[in-house]
A and B are shown apart, each in its own frame.
Chain A
């Protein structure tokens, strides 16, 4: 049974980097069939897909246009996890952040991490 466990700080200062990690159990981040996503949710923006990473003989990333200049999603094969870095955070990045595994859609979600960007 695949499970996703998120971790990371709940408070980030403006202009700093928002960093979160999603640990995978029951599957491998480097499997040739897994695709690993980050999504966020806020009252103003609703559910917003941020990006994904996946391995198909080599690593690939796809990012949402809205954050493409600020986002990095990295796999960590040694720890079987993947991470989100969102640079130059602003109060508009305040949201609940989720990691999710792709299947038919976004089939399995982490528990969510509430991140507030504030000084």
Chain B
């Protein structure tokens, strides 16, 4: 089982909110990890959006709008990227990342379609 699991795709309407999940393998407790989130558009490298560990330990990427926010769902053992007020420019691939077992580990990514 993969360390980080993301749904392969998600669709949402302009102006709505989108909640992207990153589920940690069941033996890895989400409470112990900071989860970083990235946006990637075709032909460009991933862009750091934010890192979230807790409400008191979170960092926003430089110039990243506040409508991008992070949280956790302990019951689902998952990190969440919430994008509010969706815009067409938010259509992209989104990846999560943690430092686990002496390595950076990426999720498989979620393709967000805004339509």
Determine whether the beta carbon of A109 is less than 8 Å from that of B103: no
- Check B23 for interface membership: any CB of A closer than 8 A: no
Assembly CA distance A100 to B95 (angstroms)? 15
Q: Give A42-86 interface residues, CB cut-off 8 Å to B.
A: 46-49, 62, 64-65
Assembly CA distance A23 to B38 (angstroms)? 23
The residue on B at minimum CB distance from A66 is B103
Given contacts A98-B45, A105-B97, A109-B46, contact A46 B108 (CB under 8 A): yes
Q: A49-B104, A106-B36, A107-B48 are in contact. List 11 more A-B contacts (CB 8 A).
A: A47-B106, A48-B106, A98-B45, A103-B48, A105-B36, A105-B48, A106-B38, A107-B61, A109-B48, A110-B45, A111-B45
The residue on A at minimum CB distance from B47 is A109
Candidate in B46, B95, B102, B105 with the most chain A CB atoms within 10 angstroms: B46
Determine whether the beta carbon of B105 is less than 8 Å from that of A49: yes
Assembly CA distance A104 to B109 (angstroms)? 19
Determine whether the beta carbon of B48 is less than 8 Å from that of A106: yes
**Contact count band on A:** 20 to 34
A contact face: mostly helix, strand, loop, or mixed: strand
- Check B14 for interface membership: any CB of A closer than 8 A: no
- Check A11 for interface membership: any CB of B closer than 8 A: no
Q: What does the 1/0 interface line of B45-88 toward A look like (CB < 8 Å)? A: 11110010000000101000000000000000000000000000
Please tell me which one of the listed residues A37, A46, A65 contacts residue B104 in the complex, with CB atoms under 8 A apart: A37
Q: Give A96-119 interface residues, CB cut-off 8 Å to B.
A: 98, 100, 103-112
Nearest CB of A to B80, in Å: 16
Assembly CA distance A100 to B46 (angstroms)? 10
Determine whether the beta carbon of A106 is less than 8 Å from that of B34: no
Q: CB-CB < 8 A to A62: which residues of B?
A: 102-103
